[in-house]
Every structure is written in C-alpha cells, then in structure tokens.
Structure 1
C-alpha cells in the first residue's frame, strides 16, 4: 500500500482523460454541414439552427463566419461551380463545349436534393464566379455571336437549366418509384385522352398523343439544348465572298 506521504507510482495512477481536439469552425465546414442538412431535410427546412445542430455548435458560432442565411445560400451556390472549368474557346467546337457545360450543370443541380432551389433567382456575379462567366462569354465570342446575343445567351442557358431541373425534381418527389416519370398507367391515360380529342379541333394534340408524355428526361433535355444551340447558331453571320469562315 502506498504510504500517505509517498507519491503515487505512475502505473497506479488513473489514466488521464484526453479531451478530443476541437476542429476549428470554418466556412467550408459550415457549407459541408449545410449540404448535409439540405440532402436530409430539403430546402424548406434548411435553417441556420439546423446547420448549427449538425455541427454541434451554438447558432451564434455560425455568425462569426457567415453573415446570415442568405450569405450561406450564396456560399452553397458558389460551391456548385467548384471543380469545373470551361476549356479554352474553340470556334470549331463551341456547340459541343456548351453542351458539356450544360450537361455538367444539370448533373451538379441534381447531385444534391433541392440544389436547384438555391440556384433559382441567383446570378453568378460574385467575385468567385465571375471567372466562370468570363470563360462562358469567351466561348460565345469565339463562336462569333453578336454582342447583343452574347449578353443574354448565358442567362438563357441558366434559365433553361434551372427550369428543366426544377421540373425533374418536382416529378421525382411526386413519383420516386418510377424515377421521376409519370407511372405507365397515367401516361397511357393521358395518351388515350389526347388521342380521343376531336381531330378537327385539336389536330396537333391528336397527332402528338404518343409523344407528349412518353419521352425520357435525358431525351427532352438534349433536344431542348439542341434547339437552344441551333437558335444561337442562327445569329452567327455567314462569311461573305472571299472571307475566311
């Protein structure tokens, strides 16, 4: 037995409790947690309080790094563009470059639940995103689009992406068991209804009855993108006699 006036031998001392090192709170960790909440709860339930709870900190700790929820949403929006760079403009391949940009944009918007609801109404004019805007405009400029068309082409593409993906998300929420597509029985009912309309009053609906609701989202997206690109291409001036194309 250890005497009262003797120090306790090291092997008889209780193990010292180690306090786990605290991971510093950063904007990156806050955005990570916000996406975790978004995927689990959806856009309507995303809140600063939910994010703080996910991180195990007081809400007040978030405001040291993020001004408010609107700034958090902007940071989440910025995150969507990380890891993607447009290639150097190639006037011979500008349409394929825009296709790749749009396809990746759609994948980004579908990679997190309700991410498109964050994208809606936001413009990529923050300092972090301006280089992306500049490179996109450079692709349009290399293609030879007029200035007045270039000025709205990026916004037109963004609006198409947001609107298309939002519809995809809404249908996915409504019909998750069929991959976001109306169930076969419903499609057949709609097709039958259109086909039964008076052909003299609704000739186009009757003629398109078998195509109105039966195409896949991928097909619809690619066709819509092709329509946009052909429309943009129609504004490129044809080279005159003796001019290089």
Structure 2
C-alpha cells in the first residue's frame, strides 16, 4: 500500500452496512492518529528514538500492538508521521532574494532544534522518501528560498537534500554522544581538555599536523560546527 493509499485508508468513514454486535459493551475512547503521534513523541523525548517500538508504543497507549495498525501501517509509516509532525511546527519565511542565506540558515536551525528535542528522531528522516504534506511543505519552502537567491534549479534541488541530510546526521551524532556520555567509561568524549591531551600526546613524527593543530581540531562550543558547516554549504551555493 503506497503512502497515498495509507492516508486515504486512515480517513475512510465507517461502513454503515457493516454488521454490529447488538450486545452492549463498555469501550475505551477510540485512539486517534494524533494520540499515536503524541504518545510516540513522549516516548522518544524521555527514552530516545531507539526505545520506540510498536509494542512499547502500544503499552504507552494502554492497548495491544494489533490495534495500532488500524491507524499506522508499520514503523516506517509511523516515522513518516513523526517527521511530518515536527515539520508542521516549522515557520517558513517568504523568500527574499536579499536575505536568502539567512533564511535558509534559519530553517536549518529550526529543524535542528526540533530534532534535538527528541533524541535520535532524525534517524527516522534518513533515507525517507518525502511524501507527507508537511515534510513536502518544508522542502518546497527551502527550494523556493534558494531559487529566489538565484541558485540554479538543479543545484538548489540537490542543496536542499544535502542540507537536510547534514542536519539529520548532525542531530543523530549529538544524540549518540549524549547516550554514550551516560556511561562513565565514555564520559571523556565530551571532555575537550581530555581529547586535546590525547591528540597532543600522539607521536609528532607520524601525526605532525594533528599534534600541531590539536587546538583547532578540538575548538568550538555549542553549535559552532553546525553553523560553520551550514554556512560553508550556503556560501558554496552563492559562489556557483
């Protein structure tokens, strides 16, 4: 079943000719797609994306896994809905030829912050064929900004893909680092001074550039590297 058919199935009205059980039964309030998404995001926010399984989600909704499939076709379909929900919260500017660099940088920053609120969720965006309307709205908006800035259509199309891929990979790495830092043996990964010490302790004959520029290699705080890389990509487009 393709994404369009899946969405159509979600919104099919009940069949009035279907047989009903005349015996009165106490029923729980029906689960909605929005509840499924909200609950899935809650699980990710507290336990991380890797903890989200259909069974775990069903438990959080106090239902059985089979009942979820009335709303979500499979895990890939759930991933698409989750990324679509995050995209729905993004504000896209009206393309401005004089400010297109700042605009595209701002959209990337919004996506980054959304992903980082839900550790590991950017994994769901990788290798995803965008079909959700909200996801498509974001890619359409990014494409419009780049085209308004004078970027050639082919370069703009690939640049949108490259920027989204980088943002997702950056956030995924951040979630992995955070997860590893929870273990005492891996805490040094976040310690810049320790990493600097290890690099400068390397034999200079074998690693002359690494030892000489260890300070530059380990420099940066917060999202400095993110800002640098996104700006580098955008400036490359401007030069084209």
Structure 1 residue aligned with 2:138, among 107, 129, 132? 132
Alignment partner of 1:96 is 2:102: yes
Q: Return the offset for 1:190.
A: 2.3
Length-normalised TM-score, structure 1: 0.78
Q: Return the offset for 1:60.
A: 2.2
Structure 2 residue aligned with 1:162, among 165, 168, 176? 168
Alignment partner of 1:209 is 2:214: yes
Sort the Cα spacing of 1:100 and 1:53 in 2 relative to 1 into closer, same or farther, 3 A.
Answer: same
Q: Return the offset for 1:210.
A: 1.1
What residue number does 1:117 align with? Answer: 123
Alignment partner of 1:149 is 2:126: no
* Secondary structure of 1:34 counterpart: helix
Sort the Cα spacing of 1:180 and 1:227 in 2 relative to 1 into closer, same or farther, 3 A.
Answer: farther
Sort the Cα spacing of 1:21 and 1:60 in 2 relative to 1 into closer, same or farther, 3 A.
Answer: closer
Alignment partner of 1:80 is 2:86: yes
Could you report, residue by residue, the CA deviation over 1:114-165 in whole angstroms, capped at 9, with x for unpaired residues?
A: 1122122224333342222222111111101112201201001011111211
Residue ranges of structure 1 left out of the alignment (5+ in a row): 1-19, 236-245
What residue number does 1:189 align with? Answer: 197
Residue ranges of structure 2 left out of the alignment (5+ in a row): 1-25
Length-normalised TM-score, structure 2: 0.80
Flag as ranges the 4+ runs of structure 1 deviating above 6 A.
Answer: 177-180
What residue number does 1:32 align with? Answer: 38
Q: Return the offset for 1:184.
A: 4.3
For 1:83 and 1:127, how far apart are their aligned partners in 2? Answer: 13
For 2:187 and 2:207, how far apart are their aligned partners in 1? Answer: 31
Q: Return the offset for 1:185.
A: 4.7
The structure with more radius of gyration? 1
Could you report, residue by residue, the CA deviation over 1:202-235 in whole angstroms, capped at 9, with x for unpaired residues?
A: 4432331112123224111111111111101111
For 2:41 and 2:234, how far apart are their aligned partners in 1? Answer: 33
Check whether the contact 1:52–1:62 (CA below 8 A) recurs between aligned residues. Answer: yes
